[in-house]
């Protein structure tokens, strides 16, 4: 089986801005500590680079508090990159700011122009399909435009439903290999992963469902020992990364990078 959904040559990340304290959040549990966030982000980038990948770290954008979460701004496939159209109005400028970087790495860059909306956090790319979860940030019209863009390259798009109260589809799941998904029991119960092997997060540890398979590492937020044990027992090499500050503004590990191998 191909490994193009888990093994990559490149990544793009962006340094947190000091304005991150004003980032969007569903529940206010306090502002993130900037210095701690910077330390976590440095560890994150170092882990990506440890796999031999070329990681571009873009400068902070103070005018966009959520801009550290670059995954929402674009979808990067082998054949092309697609600039998203975020559903939060304050984030539309982040997608525009990402476009020049994508154009420096890809010969083919498309763009979601609307009227629909779609964010990368709602998109899970496996070896067989692109799953897109409808949410408060991603609409059917946005998914339809994405499907039209990727169809000529042989990609199949399947729409699924993000659970009520969950910000993004990938808040509750992540791809561990071509046929294995880490998921909360809540999301898996919807049947959206029928045909895949699924590892459930342990009770009380649903926040670690948003992990990353990047080359030979699974990056997992620190502090979820029962789920880490399950993933390691399934044969995966886990590296823990602090995520307490990103979590205060609804951010997970996948949110902080675009991962790809441009052809």
Which residues carry out catalysis? Answer: 168, 255
CA angle 139, 165, 182 (to 5 degrees): 90
| Joined tokens for residue 236 | 């995966």
What does the DSSP 8-state code read for residue 17? Answer: P
What three-state secondary structure class fits 148? helix
| Joined tokens for residue 37 | 């966030």
What three-state secondary structure class fits 213? strand
What does the DSSP 8-state code read for residue 9? Answer: S
| Joined tokens for residue 224 | 């979820």
The count of other CB atoms within 10 Å of the CB of residue 107 is: 10
Count of residues making up the chain:
263
| Joined tokens for residue 57 | 């770290």
Q: Which residues of 141-173 are buried (b: 16+ CB within 10 A; e: fewer)?
A: ebbebbbebbeeeebebeebebeeebbbbbbbb
The rounded distance, in Å, linking the Cα atoms of 33 and 37 is 6
């Amino acid at each position: 089986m191909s490994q193009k959904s888990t093994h990559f040559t490149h990544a793009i990340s962006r340094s947190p801005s000091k304005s991150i304290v004003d980032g969007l959040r569903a529940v206010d549990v306090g502002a993130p500590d900037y210095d701690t966030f910077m330390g976590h982000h440095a560890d994150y980038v170092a882990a990506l680079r440890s796999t031999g990948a070329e990681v571009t770290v873009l400068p902070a954008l103070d005018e966009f508090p959520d801009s550290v979460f670059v995954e929402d701004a674009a979808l990067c496939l082998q054949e092309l990159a697609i600039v998203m159209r975020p559903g939060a109005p304050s984030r539309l400028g982040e997608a525009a700011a990402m476009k020049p970087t994508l154009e420096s790495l890809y010969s083919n860059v498309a763009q979601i122009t609307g009227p629909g909306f779609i964010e990368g956090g709602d998109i899970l790319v496996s070896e067989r399909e692109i799953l897109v979860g409808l949410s408060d940030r991603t609409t059917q019209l946005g998914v339809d435009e994405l499907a039209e863009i990727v169809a000529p390259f042989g990609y199949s798009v399947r729409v699924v439903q993000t659970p009520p109260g969950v910000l993004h589809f990938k808040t509750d799941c992540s791809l561990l290999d071509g046929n294995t998904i880490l998921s909360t029991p809540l999301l898996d119960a919807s049947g959206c992963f029928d045909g895949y092997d699924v590892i459930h997060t342990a009770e009380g540890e649903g926040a670690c469902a948003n992990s990353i398979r990047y080359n030979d590492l699974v990056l997992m937020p620190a502090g979820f020992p029962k789920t880490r044990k399950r993933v390691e027992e399934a044969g995966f090499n886990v590296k823990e990364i602090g995520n307490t500050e990103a979590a205060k503004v609804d951010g997970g590990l996948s949110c902080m990078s675009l991962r790809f191998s441009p052809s």
